[in-house]
Structure 1
Amino acid sequence: MEKEKHSHVAQEDGCCSHNHSHQHENGDEHDHDHGDASSFKTYLPAAFSLAFLLIGIALDYFKVDFFTSYVRMGWYVLAYIPVAYPVIKEAAVTIAKGEVFTEFLLMALATIGALALGEYPEAVAVMLFYTVGELFQGAAVAGAKRNIKALLDVRPDVASVFRNEKFETVKPDTVAIGETIQLKAGEKAPLDGELLSESASFNTAALTGESTPRTIRKGETVLAGMLNLDGVVTLKVSKKFADSALSRILEMVQSATSRKAKTELFIRKFAKIYTPIVFFLAVALVILPYFIVADYQFQTWLYRALVFLVISCPCALVISIPLGYFGGIGAASANGILFKGSNFLDVITQINTVVMDKTGTLTHGVFKVKQIQSEIDEAKFMALLAAIESQSTHPIAKAIVNHYGDQTLLEVTEVKEIAGHGLTAVVEKQKITAGNAKLLKKANIAYPAIIDEQVETIVILAIDEQYVGYVIIADEVKADAKQAVTELHANGVTQVVMLSGDKTAITAKLAKELNIDQAYGDLLPEDKVAQLEQIKKDKNAVVAFVGDGINDAPVLALSDLGMAMGAMGSDVAIETADVVIQNDQPSKIVTAIKIGKATKKVVYQNISLAFGVKAIVLILGAGGLATMWEAVFADVGVAFLAILNAIRIQRMKF
C-alpha cells in the first residue's frame, strides 16, 4: 500500500530537474531520482565538488608549487564529475528520445567547453550551482507536495471487519457494503459507513482542513479518513472502498496537476522553441565575428558563446511556474479546497459573477425551530406539539421533535394525518390540532391574521379547537454565509445571485438578509439552467456556480467554474464540479479566489524576474561583459529566487 500511496502523488512538471522524473511528450516517464532529498546520499556529490572546488581555488590563490597544470586540471575534473555526470547522462537520454535541444545539453556543452578552454573553476562552479539549485528545487517540491501528500497518507491500510464471530484485520478493498467494521481510539475510518455506536467524536482535518472535532451520532455518516477520538466504535459500511469520499478526493488530487494552466502550457511550448534558438545564436556568436571583427580570437568568442549558453537555460521559467501552480493546489488542499487542475486556479481569478444554490450552500438544508410563539406555558406547549408531531415522519415534524430533545414524550392516541395540512390527535384527553393555516381554516379555528403574513414554514397548535400558538420552522443559514457574500463583493465579484427551488418569498427574504444582489425562487432544475444561460448572455460575465445537489449538476457543468460543497454534496455534483469545498463553508469560495489570485501573482512575478534578468545578462554575455559567474547567477540564481517566491504560497494565510 505504501508504494501505491506514493505513486499517486502527481509528478511536478519540471523539465529542468535531473533529480526528479520527467514527463515527456509521448506520456512516458523516465525516472532520474537520485534518492530522497533529505538523505545524506543526495547531498554527497555536491558536498564533494564544493570541497574540491574551494580547495582548488585556495591552491590557485596561494600558487602552491605542486599544483601544476596537469595536477590542476585533474583536480578540477575530479570536482566536476560528481555534479556533471547526472546532467550529461540526462542529456544523452533526452537526445536518444529525440529531444535534442534541452537545458541538459546546454549545460553540458557550456561546461565541457569551459574545461577545454582551461576555465576549470568556472566549469565546476556552473555545474555545482546548477546541482545546488536542483536540490533546492527538490526541497521546494517536497514542501509544495506536503499538504497534498498528507491527504494520501490518511487512507488506512487495513480494516477491522466482523467475520466468523470476531473482528478480523483485512484490506479495506475486500470489505463489502453492509459489513460491520470496528475503529479503536486513534484509528482512521478506512471506509464510509453509518455509525452504529451511540455517538463519537472525530477529527475531520484530513478531509475538511478543519481542526475542530466533530461529534457524529448513531445513524449518521462517518467518512473514510476521519480519525476516531473516542473509545471503540463500530460502523456499518455504506460504500465500497473505491467509491468512498476519500477515494474520490485522492483521485481528484492525483489528476489535479495533469490539467495545466494556459500560462504553463505557453511556457512549455515557449521553452521548446526558445532553447534551440539560443543554441544557434551561441553558434552564431562564435562564427559571425570572424567575418566582422578585425582582431578575432576564437577562444574569446567561444568563451562568450559558452557564457551565453549558461545564461540562456530556461530553468527559472520551466521549474518555478509549474511549482507556483502546484503550490497553489497544495495551499488550497490545506484549506479544505480541492482544485481539479491548475487551469482552474487561473479561471477563478477572472470570476466576476457568483451564482449560488440556497439549500445546502448558503443554508444547512436541515429544518430547525427558529421561533416559538405561545399563549400558554412554553414548556407545556412544546410537550403537546412534540408529542403529536412524533407520530409523523415529515422533516418538519422531525425538526420539532429534535428541538424538544430527549425529554419523555406524552402519550398520543387517535392520531389522524391530513396530507398537506397536518395532524389531529388526543393527548391527555385533549383534542390537539397541529398543522398549517389550511388545516385550521378547514376546522374553522380562528387564529391571528399575522400568521398569514409569515413567509417561512409555520406549524400552528390548537387545543380543543382553540388557537394557542405556533412555531416557525426554517432552514438554518450557515454562520459564515453573510460574511461570504460581503467578502465576495470585496474581492472583485460584482454580482452575487441566488437560485432556489424554495418559495420566492423565502428566497427574497434570505437574499435581503445576506445582501445578495439578485435572487430567484420556485425554480426547477431546468429553470436554474435557463437562468444561468440568461446570466451568461452578458459577454463580460465570468460565472462560477456553487451547489451541492444532484439537480445542480447541469448548472455546475454549464458555468465557467463549477464549485461543489463536498462534505454533504451529492456524488454527481462533486464529480461535475471543477473545485470542491470539503467543509461546506461558503466563505471558502472567497478563500479559493484569494489562493487563485496569490498563485497568479507569484507566477507572473517569476516570469518577469526570469525574463528581465536573463535579457540583461544575455546582452552583457554577448558583449563580453559577463563571465561564467554572472551566468551562474542568471541561470541558477534566478531559478532559486523564483523557487523561493513560488513556495511563499505555502506559507500564506488566506
Structure 2
Amino acid sequence: MINIDKNHKHTYDAQGKQLCCTPQEEKIYTDADAKMLLEKHHDDDRHNHEHADDDGHNHGSTDKSTFQMFLPAIISFVLLMIAIAFDNWVSQSWFTGWVRIVWYVVAYVPVGLPVIKEAFESIRKGDVFSEFLLMSIATIGAFAIGEYPEGVAVMLFYAVGEVFQTLAVTRAKANIKTLLDQRPDEVTILENNQAKTIKAETASIGNIIQLKPGEKLGLDGELLSETASFNTAALTGESKPDTKTKGETVLAGMINLTTVAQVKVTTAYTDSKLSKILELVQNATAQKAPTELFIRKFAKIYTPIVVLLAVLITIIPYFFVSDYLFSQWLYRALVFLVISCPCALVISIPLGYFGGIGAASKNGILFKGSNFLDAIADIKNVVMDKTGTMTEGVFKVQEVVLKPEFNKEEILKMVNALESQSTHPVATAIHQYVGEIDSSIKLENTEEIAGHGLKANVNGKELLVGNFKLMDKFNINYDLDPTTIVYTLIAIAYDGKFAGYITIADSIKEDAQLTIDKLKGLGVKITMLSGDKSTVVKFVADKLGINNAFGDLLPEDKVNKVKEIKSKNETVAFVGDGVNDAPVVALSDVGIAMGGLGSDATIETADVVIQDDKPSRIPMAINIGKQTKKIVWQNITLAFVVKGIVLVLGAGGLATMWEAVFADVGVALLAILNAVRIQRMKF
C-alpha cells in the first residue's frame, strides 16, 4: 500500500481555481497506478470557488486574488506610516497645513471610499444604519476634529478586517463545495468501440462510459463490467474501497481504483445523486438558525440605538459639564460608534454554521440547514426504526415451513411473484432464496396493505403474504403462536387457508452498539419502534441495551408513540428510511434518514441525511450540532462582553480609537478564528 500525505493542502491560482485535491480525497490506494491515479485525480479537481452568499454583510468581490483584495490596505498603510513618521520622527517643515491634510486624505481614500460608497448604497436600499455608515461617520468625524492618523487607521483596520472576513467566509463555503463537488468536467464514452472524450454534462442516458483506474465517474450509472472497486470518500467520507459487481448502481464522484470498467449512464448529469447532494448542502446555508436570525434582527435595532446614544454623548454633556469641549465629546461619540459596529456578530455566527455544515458533510452527514444544527444540539430523545437503521436490512431466509397439503415449490413460486411487487428487504430475501420469477404466474388485483403485507389473486384464488396481522385481518386460522419464534415471520395463506410461514433473519450493524453507547453518553434517551414482530425487536433491543422498544407497529402507531414523547415537552429526532416513515419524520423535531445514497426520496424527506448508512453518524451529528452551537455562543459572549466594556470606557473618555478598533475588528477576527475551529475538530 502507498499512503498519500494527509497534510497535503489546497493551492490556488490568481483566479481562485483549485490546483490540488482535498485532504478528504487523499486516501489509501493500491500500489498499482497510485501515482497516475493521484495525478489524474488532481486534474479532475479543478473547480472555481463560488461567491459568498448574501448574508447581509458585503464581503466584496471574491473573484479577486488575495493580493488584489489587500492592495488598497497596503497602499493606505504605506502612506499612513510615512505620514506618522513625518509627524513624529522626521522634522519636515513642509508637512504641515493643507499638505498634511491632503496626504492623510490620499491615505484614507483607498480604504475609505469603498466603505462610503457601500454606506450610500445601503441607504439607497433602505438600510440606513449599517456598519458602513457607522465607520464612515466615525472616520470622517475624526478628520473633522483633526484626528487624521486615527481616522485613517480606523478605516484601514476595518478594511483589513473585512478582507479577512471575506476570505474566511469564501474559504468556508469553498471547502464545502470542493468537498462534495467531485464531478469531473469530462468523461470518456465508447462509440462503435472507439473511445471519445466529451463534456460530462453532454453525456446522454444510455452512453457507455469507459473508466480507467484513477478516474472519477461523472454520472450515475449501472456497472457493465463483472466487478470493480471504487473509492466512495467523496460521497460518504468512507475511505474503505467498495467493490461493485455487474448490474449494481455506481454513482458520480466514485473513483475507480483497479481495473478498467464500463458503466452505462442511467441518469442525466444534473440529476445525479452527487448533484442533488451538492445542491442540498449549498442551499443549506439559506436555512438560517434561530440564533442567526435573532442576531440579524438585533443588529437592525441595536445599530440605530447606538447612533442615537452617540449623538446624546456629544450633546447632553453640554448641559451638565462646566468645561464642556465639543471636540472632546465628539471624539468620545466617534469612539462609541466604532466600538458599536456589529461585524463580529454578523460575520462570525454564519461562519460558525458554515463550519458545522462543512464538518458534517466531510463525515457523510448532510444537514439541510443551519437551523437543524441548532435543533439537533438540543435533542433529548432519539427514536429509531430497527430495519436498515440498527440492523443491516439485508434479510436472509432461514427456514420455510409449509403445511403438507401444499406444494412447496408452487407456493414459493407464487410468493416470489407476489413479492416482486414490493421493494421491501424481505421481498429481496425471498427472491434471492427462490430464484428467477416464474413468468407463467399471472397476478390479478394486487394490493399492498400498509403494515400488513401483500394480497393478490392467483389462478382465481386469493394469495396473502405478510405478517400474522394480515392473517387476522382476513380471518385466516393458524395453529401456532408467532411470539414464540424470534425470527421475522412471513405468513402465507392461499385459497383462504393458512399454508405456512417463512423465517427471515437480519443482522445487527457492526457499529450499532457503539452508537447506543455514545448516545447514552450524550444523555439522550433512546426508543426503538418497528413494524417487525415484537420478539425480534425485543431481541435486538436487549442485545444493544435499549430499554424502550416496541414492535408490531403500524405507521400510525409510530406517530402516536412520538406524540406521546413530545407531549412531555421533550425534543425528538426520528431516524428511519425517510420514505415509509414520512409521517413520523414530519412530526419529529429533526428527521434523520439513513442511506442517502440509496434513495432520492430519502434526501427529499429528511432534515438530516446519513449518507453511508452508519448509525454511529447519529451521535456524531448531535455532537457536531452541540459544538457548533457552543462556538456560536462563545462568539456572541465574546463580542458582547468586550464591546460592552469598551463602550463604557469610550463613553467615559477612557478608551481611544485604538481600543475601539480592537473592540470592532479585533473581536471580529478572534470570533472568525474561533468559528473556523470546528472544521478542524475530530468527531
The match for 2:359 is 331
Select which of 641, 647, 650 maps to 2:676: 647
Deviation at 1:156, TM superposition (A): 2.5
The match for 1:526 is 556
The match for 1:492 is 523
* 1:39 is aligned to 2:66: yes
TM-score, with length taken from structure 1: 0.80
- Equivalent residues in 2 for 1:12-91, closer than 5 Å: 13=55, 15=57, 17=58, 20=59, 32-33=60-61, 35-36=63-64, 38-66=65-93, 67-91=95-119
> For residues 235 and 99 of structure 2, what CA distance do their matches in structure 1 show?
61
The match for 1:96 is 124
The match for 2:582 is 553
Report the 3-state secondary structure (helix = DSSP H, G, I; strand = E; otherwise coil) of the residue aligned with 1:355. Answer: strand
* 1:477 is aligned to 2:505: no
> For residues 49 and 127 of structure 2, what CA distance do their matches in structure 1 show?
26
Q: Deviations over 1:569-596 (max 9, x none)?
A: 4322221100111111101111111111
* Compared CA separation, residues 39 and 342, structure 1 to 2 (3 A): same
The match for 1:248 is 276
Contiguous gaps of at least 5 residues in structure 2:
1-16, 19-45, 400-411, 418-426, 436-452, 454-479, 491-501
Deviation at 1:295, TM superposition (A): 1.7
The match for 2:225 is 197
> For residues 490 and 513 of structure 1, what CA distance do their matches in structure 2 show?
18
TM-score, with length taken from structure 2: 0.77
- Equivalent residues in 2 for 1:114-513, closer than 5 Å: 114-163=142-191, 166-367=194-395, 395-396=428-429, 455-456=486-487, 474-493=505-524, 495-513=525-543
> For residues 505 and 579 of structure 2, what CA distance do their matches in structure 1 show?
22
Q: Which moved more, 1:304-313 or 1:146-155?
A: 146-155
Q: Which moved more, 1:202-211 or 1:506-515?
A: 202-211
Select which of 571, 578, 592 maps to 1:563: 592
> For residues 538 and 329 of structure 2, what CA distance do their matches in structure 1 show?
76
The match for 2:21 is none
Q: Which moved more, 1:636-645 or 1:149-158?
A: 149-158
Q: Deviations over 1:482-540 (max 9, x none)?
A: 110111111120x21112222211111000001112112223333323332333332x2
> For residues 551 and 140 of structure 1, what CA distance do their matches in structure 2 show?
41
> For residues 224 and 554 of structure 2, what CA distance do their matches in structure 1 show?
36
* 1:588 is aligned to 2:630: no
User: For residue 521 of structure 2, what is the amino acid of its counterpart?
Assistant: A
* Compared CA separation, residues 95 and 154, structure 1 to 2 (3 A): same
Deviation at 1:299, TM superposition (A): 1.1
Report the 3-state secondary structure (helix = DSSP H, G, I; strand = E; otherwise coil) of the residue aligned with 2:580. Answer: helix
Q: Is the 8 A contact 2:488 2:533 kept in 1?
A: no
Deviation at 1:106, TM superposition (A): 0.7
Report the 3-state secondary structure (helix = DSSP H, G, I; strand = E; otherwise coil) of the residue aligned with 1:288. Answer: helix
Report the 3-state secondary structure (helix = DSSP H, G, I; strand = E; otherwise coil) of the residue aligned with 2:264. Answer: strand
* Compared CA separation, residues 562 and 10, structure 1 to 2 (3 A): farther
Q: Is the 8 A contact 1:556 1:573 kept in 2?
A: no
User: For residue 334 of structure 2, what is the amino acid of its counterpart?
Assistant: L
Q: Which moved more, 1:49-58 or 1:362-371?
A: 362-371
The match for 1:406 is none
Deviation at 1:8, TM superposition (A): 6.5
> For residues 150 and 62 of structure 2, what CA distance do their matches in structure 1 show?
25
Q: Deviations over 1:97-139 (max 9, x none)?
A: 1211110011011111111222111111111111111122123
Q: Which moved more, 1:516-525 or 1:639-648?
A: 516-525
* Compared CA separation, residues 204 and 532, structure 1 to 2 (3 A): same
Report the 3-state secondary structure (helix = DSSP H, G, I; strand = E; otherwise coil) of the residue aligned with 1:212. Answer: coil
> For residues 381 and 656 of structure 2, what CA distance do their matches in structure 1 show?
52
Q: Is the 8 A contact 2:236 2:611 kept in 1?
A: yes
Deviation at 1:171, TM superposition (A): 4.1
User: For residue 647 of structure 1, what is the amino acid of its counterpart?
Assistant: V
* Compared CA separation, residues 199 and 113, structure 1 to 2 (3 A): same
Q: Paired residues, what number?
A: 564
Report the 3-state secondary structure (helix = DSSP H, G, I; strand = E; otherwise coil) of the residue aligned with 1:476. Answer: coil
User: For residue 661 of structure 2, what is the amino acid of its counterpart?
Assistant: V
Q: Is the 8 A contact 2:188 2:210 kept in 1?
A: yes
* Compared CA separation, residues 397 and 35, structure 1 to 2 (3 A): closer
Q: Is the 8 A contact 2:218 2:252 kept in 1?
A: yes
* Compared CA separation, residues 295 and 587, structure 1 to 2 (3 A): same
* Compared CA separation, residues 477 and 369, structure 1 to 2 (3 A): farther
> For residues 370 and 69 of structure 1, what CA distance do their matches in structure 2 show?
97
Contiguous gaps of at least 5 residues in structure 1:
21-31, 372-387, 403-419, 421-448, 460-470
Q: Deviations over 1:463-485 (max 9, x none)?
A: xxxxxxxx996312111111101
Q: Which moved more, 1:106-115 or 1:176-185?
A: 176-185
